[in-house]
Amino acid sequence: MPKVAKELSAIEVQRLTRMPPDTRAFNYFPAGGVPGLLLRVAKSGACYWVLRASVGKRVTSSGKEAPLRRDIGLGAYPEISLKVARQRAAVKREMIREGLDPVQERRTARQARQALIAQHMTFNEAVEIAKELESIGDDKAGKAWTHKLETYAIPTLGHLPVAKIERDHIVDVLLPIWTTKTRTAKDVRKLVEDVLDRAYAAKNIGRHNPARWDKLLQHRLPKATKKGTNFPALPFPLINTFLAELRKLTDTAAPAVAFVIYTGARSGEVCGSTWREIDLDRKLWTIPKERMKKGEEHRIHLSAPAVAILKALAGGGPDDPVFPTVTGRHHQNARPSKITREIGKGMGYQATVHGFRATFRTWGEEETEYPESILEMALAHKIDDAVKAAYQRGDLLKKRRALMDDWAAYCAKPAPAGAVVNIGERVNG
């Protein structure tokens, strides 16, 4: 049994809390009335009630049993008065006499309350939690995140408690779009999985995530046979001809289209670029993760033609657009897309700005010896193979420099006479 201390009065407790820090003999002061009841006075002056008691046994490093001592919090002073602190300490002492651990009992009760709350937390509420934790905003990526859930998942899952969502519910969400919008369906499945994972972690729900891709879910969905629609792409032997036509234009969006071609970047990444991202001395363009589809920073080596495009521009402040409109704003995708379609049509081919990435990728695959991993990383594509991804934690920038310089050199070469191109991209009529 702990030594019974002198019972302090409320006035004496008040005096202890007002003592200057350098005059206090101890940080813990016995309050008396209940064995082990202490007033802890921190250096900051904050005061807390603590019950110091032995609860059960523990095994020491030498293998011997010893009492397990706990400091059990009873609340802050003066919010909790001396009288109430003694009452709470007496209750904890009674629990210990009955063989209970007050700390473990409090933890168990808290988990039970959380589980009870989780039983009633709906998927709609879980989406809001995930949105806050993932910092989903009102930018383009944030709107796409919200739109997919609101369009495909929430109509079925929104009102359901997350603890009651089963695999059948996930199938009901995915089945209508699995074969017709396979890419979207896969995105929705992953979003639902992430939302449920966040909810389970927040509310300490220990259960298998029904949206996780496993054999049980896989066997409930038909095999996706429909291929996604690819963006029409200009055949790579004609890229020099296209660039020659592009250079004839005075449109402010023309340099942006050329920059897309030389860098292999997405048009949105180019149109949204600022001078802060450009390092002409190092011939490097660093796109922050907030603007990337994968949410990861991406670095692109700038070949000589890409640098020349930038040097020909007026420049600006760190946050000014690299490719501004006549009013000084960022270009949207519409104008570069229109230019590309018109030049492509004049050449007798369908062409899109995004298709230049496929043009670059096809050239790399058919005309060079660069490995697939280099080509995919140049395009900031996600490496699906988990083993490959584990071994390729860097961005292979050194190897990609040579790739982008070789691509620029190829773009400077006129199409050879009688070059064979994919007639499937021809514009009929």
Least confident stretch, 233-242, 270-279, 337-346, 386-395: 386-395
User: In the CATH hierarchy, which top-level class contains the domain 123-218?
Assistant: mainly alpha
* CA dihedral sign of residues 308, 313, 317, 319: negative
Asked if 270 and 313 touch (Cβ cutoff 8 Å), the reply is no
The answer on pLDDT for 111 being more than 80 is no
The whole-number pLDDT of residue 219 equals: 84
The answer on pLDDT for 118 being more than 70 is no
The whole-number pLDDT of residue 426 equals: 44
Domain with CATH 1.10.443.10 in the chain: 236-425
Mean of per-residue pLDDT scores for the chain = 83
User: In the CATH hierarchy, which top-level class contains the domain 10-100?
Assistant: alpha beta
The answer on pLDDT for 155 being more than 70 is yes
- Tell me how far the alpha carbon of residue 83 is from its chain's centroid: 50
Instruction: Give helix 254-263 / helix 304-312 axis angle, nearest 10°.
Output: 160
> Is pLDDT larger for residue 391 or for residue 321?
321
The whole-number pLDDT of residue 395 equals: 61
CA distance 17 to 38: 13
The answer on pLDDT for 228 being more than 70 is no
Residue 427 confidence class, pLDDT cut points 50, 70, 90 = very low
CA distance 307 to 290: 24
**Mean pLDDT of the region 349-370:** 91
CA distance 367 to 118: 57
The first and second tokens of residue 106, run together, are 């409090």
CA distance 318 to 255: 19
Residue 428 confidence class, pLDDT cut points 50, 70, 90 = very low
Other Cβ atoms closer than 10 A to 123: 23
* pLDDT per residue as tens digits for the range 35-92: 889 888 887 778 889 998 888 777 788 888 888 888 888 888 988 898 999 999 999 8
Domain with CATH 1.10.150.130 in the chain: 123-218
Secondary structure (3-state) at 218: helix
The answer on pLDDT for 369 being more than 50 is yes
> Is pLDDT larger for residue 397 or for residue 356?
356
The answer on pLDDT for 405 being more than 90 is yes
Residue 156 confidence class, pLDDT cut points 50, 70, 90 = very high
- Tell me how far the alpha carbon of residue 20 is from its chain's centroid: 48
The answer on pLDDT for 291 being more than 50 is yes
CA distance 62 to 318: 63
The answer on pLDDT for 274 being more than 70 is yes
The answer on pLDDT for 124 being more than 70 is yes
The superfamily (CATH) of domain 236-425 is Intergrase catalytic core (1.10.443.10)
Residue 417 confidence class, pLDDT cut points 50, 70, 90 = low
Residue 390 confidence class, pLDDT cut points 50, 70, 90 = very low
The whole-number pLDDT of residue 424 equals: 39
**Mean pLDDT of the region 343-370:** 91
Residue 154 confidence class, pLDDT cut points 50, 70, 90 = very high
The whole-number pLDDT of residue 389 equals: 44
Domain with CATH 3.30.160.390 in the chain: 10-100
Least confident stretch, 13-27, 167-181, 369-383: 13-27
Q: Can you give the pTM of this predicted structure?
A: 0.48
The answer on pLDDT for 210 being more than 50 is yes
The answer on pLDDT for 19 being more than 60 is yes
